[in-house]
Structure 1
Amino acid sequence: MSLRSFFDPKSVAIIGASGTPGKGGYALIENMTKTDFKRKVYPINPKRREILGLKTYPKINKLPEVVDLAIIVINNEAVPQMIDECGSFGIKNVIIESGGFAEASERGKELEKDVLRKARKFDMRVMGPNSIGMIDTSSGFSTPYVPIEAVKKGRVAFVGQTGLLESVFIPLIQNIGVSKVVCMGNKCDVDECDVLEYIIDDSSTDIIAMYIEGIRDGRRFIKIIERSEKVLIVLKGGRTTYGARAVSSHTGTICGENRVYDALFEQYNIIPVKSFEELFDLVKVFISQPFPNGNCVGIITVTGAGGVTASDCCEDNGLEIASVSSRTLEKIREVYPTWAPVKNPLDVWSAIEKTGSEEVYRRATEEFLADGGVDAVIPVIGAVSWMELDIRLFLHLKKKYPQKPIILVGLLGEPDILLRWKKILEPEIPVFPTAERAIKALALLEKFGRKSILKKNKMLRNPH
């Protein structure tokens, strides 16, 4: 059964709708009014006549039609009975946003089993429980029970067993742009395979970023990703003993062995990360930059020490410091004092004193981009007022050299400057506060691109 009604329902019932600001059932309705979602919304509340201008209904069976989707946000003890009522009325798709199920207690586990038994009796699909639902920027559908602003459209789908993606992390993903955000909760029915199967066929999505605590059906998961050409980045929770214990109280999931997941990710070119910070770093780079033709990097830095540490980080992550041509060095030397050494990594401090920040960074970046031996460029600039330059110069260079990655580092001196640079450059050029984070992201971009080419060549040689 397709999950279309979870992402783009023609009609929705909100069971537990509230007229009290601050309540989850109020935020649900309020969020839908802020988006482009123009379908029918039916609040269920026996004590009110209307909420935010929408007529309310006392019970699910009093609705004028059988809705595509019901969202339940009521006390956990009442949920199994509500599944019965929804099923008897003919509703086939339900999101349970209530908590207090398998993630909470033995009683919660029994309630969750009861929910699943009743849902199966009606051939009903259930997302959750303990789910915050989803956001679909194509349809304008938004179900979080916390207040959020409209989310910017983009090409990245975020899927996970966490509501953080649709609440706390919304400001982080706004610059990136989103196609879909899905919180599966406890996965009593709809799981990562169901969601992946739907999203890999979604034309509005190029990258899938996931937070998972376990995979229920490994064989099905493999079959799905084998036919997908989308980038898949995965943060696997519960890698340690303590983490696995925390998972059991978060979603009630059994984590599985790390070595099995590591082998799966390596074989099928899935990109593993170890933190949400790294997840967002990679998404920023993958959504905006082309795959480099090789692993040779040009680094432009404002300090000698920065060049040394960046070189170490490149080698640690499988990248090489590019050997640039003598012609390139001669062109760059024109903005340097005669006594200063010119080599990669490029320390531009003395050149800035002679020529000025903007011209030095423009010249060095463009010459590195034009050099056939350089596959990607990382300019490192101090995010401080006395080094200010027109940061838009990098956007002009990206347009001129679209085939090579440019990743900017603004060494965090003044936070306001770094934030301003991000607003100007992202998502076209990702901006990081450290060279180490930029280099790690670039290294994974290069590795994924290289393995993808090998995979395509193998498929061409063995089409069947």
Structure 2
Amino acid sequence: MQKMFYPQSVAVVGASNSDTNMGRNIIQNLVNWGYEGEVCPVNPRGEDVLGLKGYASLSEIGRPIDLVVAFVPAKVVPGVMDECAALGVTRMAVPSGGFSEYGESGDELTRLVAAKAVEYGIRFVGPNGLTIINTENGLCLPFLTLKKREPGHISVVSQSGGVGLSLMMFLDNAAATFNKFISVGNKVSMDELDFLEYLGDDPGTRVICLFLESVVRGRRFGEVASRIDKPILIYKANTTEAGARTAASHTAALANDDAVVEGMFRQAGIIRVRSIRRLVDMARAFELPPIRGNRIAVVSQAGGYTVLCADEAYRRGFSFPALAPAFLDGMKEYVRSDVIRMGNPLDLGDIHSTDEILYALDKVLGQRDIDGVALVLLRRSDARYDGAYARMQRPPYADLQGLMSKHHKPISMCLLTQSAFLREVRSEVGYPIFEIPEDAVEALGVLRDHYSRRPA
């Protein structure tokens, strides 16, 4: 895999200097992302691309090439593989479509490139995908120009290129980024298992996310996943007849028996989520401290959300230990209207000072029989406060990280506010913030389920 993710040289077959040439976009990405290896555009006229020397063929380069990107019509790919074999190239990326997802003619081509891969000892990602991004070295191979991302700790494997792009968008919205991205496409030579094994040992990857329409080598996939200590989260689509028909024409994916797949995921300790947004949100949950048990407190600035979160927590098997009587008695002096009953869940709707909220969280987290907190805060970004009230209302977000570090327990927070303000806050803090109260509770459940199987 070293030559796949850390090549010293990349040749892009099919890249020309035309503004409409999508192979040119691959060259543009490599330049914009600061890839420091050698980049060799290859096209029939041997023309330069974006100031980089072009070649009419791979053999004309005259130097070893670690990775060849073949962005050419599907019928041309076998010939590129022949040339790679003659030059000793063993790693390729094939973003081109027109294979099994295209019908009988595509099936024939698929069998041909699969046979050549075995004969020549070539491994390739694709076809029909965005292939690979490695944020650590600027290797960015999609045929769409993408803004440069700084390295994160979440790595993504997606069977669909479009869904993969959506995952990047959701990570952007969450003020997060990824480490490695793999769009496996039709999985002719390399599949999700190959990349799961690699990411399991990859020091830059702390959390692994997968979007799959099918799971190949399912038994082996479960065995490998069960040995990986890192969190593995999967959104598995193609679970209905309608989904199966669509997937077959999209990435040539074959449906799996969903009950069997679900059982394999559960046995292997894989976390299954039911939406793309949750795949990102629950992956970010692992930036919180581990939760050590099943006992939580729910704290909210609105009574209705304490009820909502309590329902969600109950469904997920959490318990609500009683809060210390001395603490509850002490909190009464902060309550102004005397209409809120103090307990767990804890309604702070009549408490308006940030310092008092932080005091309450500190005391709750300090209880030995509380393992974590689901917190719901409300903030109007357009609200304006003056004088003493403004000081009371200073944002508490930076202080929450300190409380988690002090008590070694998670605070899973939902901030109910306008989306632009939420994104601003997310970019300033070092922990996840959820948009929906139920997601904050779900995150604690995901942490509990993972760490109960794989202690931190």
Write the letter of the residue equivalent to 2:159.
Answer: Q
Contact 1:383 1:415 in 2 (8 A): no
C-alpha distance in 2, partners of 1:335/1:435? 25
Contact 1:14 1:43 in 2 (8 A): yes
In the TM superposition, what are the counterparts of 1:235-246 in structure 2 within 5 Å?
235-246=235-246
Contact 2:299 2:375 in 1 (8 A): yes
Write the letter of the residue equivalent to 1:404.
Answer: K
Q: Which runs of 4+ in 1 moved over 4 A?
A: none
C-alpha distance in 1, partners of 2:17/2:131? 20
Q: 1:407 aligns with which of 402, 409, 412?
A: 412
Q: Which moved more, 1:168-177 or 1:437-446?
A: 168-177
In the TM superposition, what are the counterparts of 1:37-116 in structure 2 within 5 Å?
37-47=35-45, 49-116=47-114
User: Aligned residue pairs: how many?
Assistant: 443
In the TM superposition, what are the counterparts of 1:423-442 in structure 2 within 5 Å?
423-425=427-429, 428-442=430-444
Change (3 A) 1:446 1:147: same
Give the superposition deviation at 1:338.
7.0
C-alpha distance in 2, partners of 1:389/1:101? 58
Contact 2:291 2:451 in 1 (8 A): yes
In the TM superposition, what are the counterparts of 1:413-424 in structure 2 within 5 Å?
414-424=418-428
C-alpha distance in 2, partners of 1:348/1:225? 42
Q: 1:389 aligns with which of 394, 397, 405?
A: 394
SS in 2 for 1:350: coil
- CA distances 1:241-288 after superposition (whole Å, capped 9, x unpaired): 2112221112112121011111111111111111111111110101x1
C-alpha distance in 1, partners of 2:167/2:260? 29
Give the superposition deviation at 1:47.
3.1
Q: Which moved more, 1:336-345 or 1:309-318?
A: 336-345
Contact 1:365 1:379 in 2 (8 A): no
In the TM superposition, what are the counterparts of 1:275-354 in structure 2 within 5 Å?
275-286=275-286, 288-337=287-336, 339=338, 340-352=340-352
* 2:389 equivalent in structure 1: none
Contact 1:165 1:181 in 2 (8 A): no
C-alpha distance in 2, partners of 1:31/1:167? 15
Give the superposition deviation at 1:104.
2.2
Structure 1 gaps of 5+ residues are 457-464
* 1:445 equivalent in structure 2: 447
Give the superposition deviation at 1:22.
5.0
C-alpha distance in 1, partners of 2:169/2:20? 20
C-alpha distance in 1, partners of 2:328/2:431? 25
C-alpha distance in 2, partners of 1:276/1:307? 26
Contact 2:9 2:67 in 1 (8 A): yes
* 2:159 equivalent in structure 1: 161
SS in 2 for 1:209: strand
Give the superposition deviation at 1:190.
0.7
Is residue 372 from structure 1 mapped to residue 368 from structure 2 by the alignment? yes
Give the superposition deviation at 1:217.
1.4
In the TM superposition, what are the counterparts of 1:222-301 in structure 2 within 5 Å?
222-286=222-286, 288-301=287-300
SS in 1 for 2:305: helix
Contact 1:292 1:446 in 2 (8 A): yes
Contact 1:406 1:429 in 2 (8 A): no
RMSD: 1.9
Contact 1:300 1:364 in 2 (8 A): no
Give the superposition deviation at 1:128.
0.7
Q: 2:138 aligns with which of 140, 158, 163?
A: 140
Change (3 A) 1:23 1:374: farther
C-alpha distance in 2, partners of 1:440/1:371? 22
C-alpha distance in 1, partners of 2:285/2:399? 19
Contact 1:148 1:167 in 2 (8 A): no
Contact 2:135 2:151 in 1 (8 A): yes
Q: Which moved more, 1:111-120 or 1:322-331?
A: 322-331
Superposition TM-score, scaled by structure 1 size: 0.90
Write the letter of the residue equivalent to 1:210.
Answer: L
C-alpha distance in 2, partners of 1:21/1:336? 65
Contact 1:87 1:119 in 2 (8 A): no
Write the letter of the residue equivalent to 1:378.
Answer: A
Contact 1:325 1:373 in 2 (8 A): no
Q: Which moved more, 1:28-37 or 1:380-389?
A: 380-389
Contact 2:158 2:164 in 1 (8 A): no
Give the superposition deviation at 1:373.
2.1
Write the letter of the residue equivalent to 2:2.
Answer: R
C-alpha distance in 1, partners of 2:423/2:20? 30
Give the superposition deviation at 1:39.
0.7
- CA distances 1:212-234 after superposition (whole Å, capped 9, x unpaired): 22222123223322432121111
Q: Which moved more, 1:333-342 or 1:93-102?
A: 333-342
C-alpha distance in 1, partners of 2:249/2:93? 20
* 2:390 equivalent in structure 1: none
Write the letter of the residue equivalent to 1:122.
Answer: Y
* 1:462 equivalent in structure 2: none
* 2:388 equivalent in structure 1: none
Superposition TM-score, scaled by structure 2 size: 0.92
Contact 2:16 2:48 in 1 (8 A): no
Contact 1:144 1:166 in 2 (8 A): no
Q: 1:15 aligns with which of 13, 17, 33?
A: 13
Write the letter of the residue equivalent to 1:51.
Answer: V
SS in 1 for 2:155: strand
Give the superposition deviation at 1:11.
1.0
Contact 2:167 2:277 in 1 (8 A): no
Contact 1:76 1:99 in 2 (8 A): yes
Contact 2:170 2:277 in 1 (8 A): no
Q: Which moved more, 1:6-15 or 1:114-123?
A: 114-123
In the TM superposition, what are the counterparts of 1:177-216 in structure 2 within 5 Å?
177-216=177-216
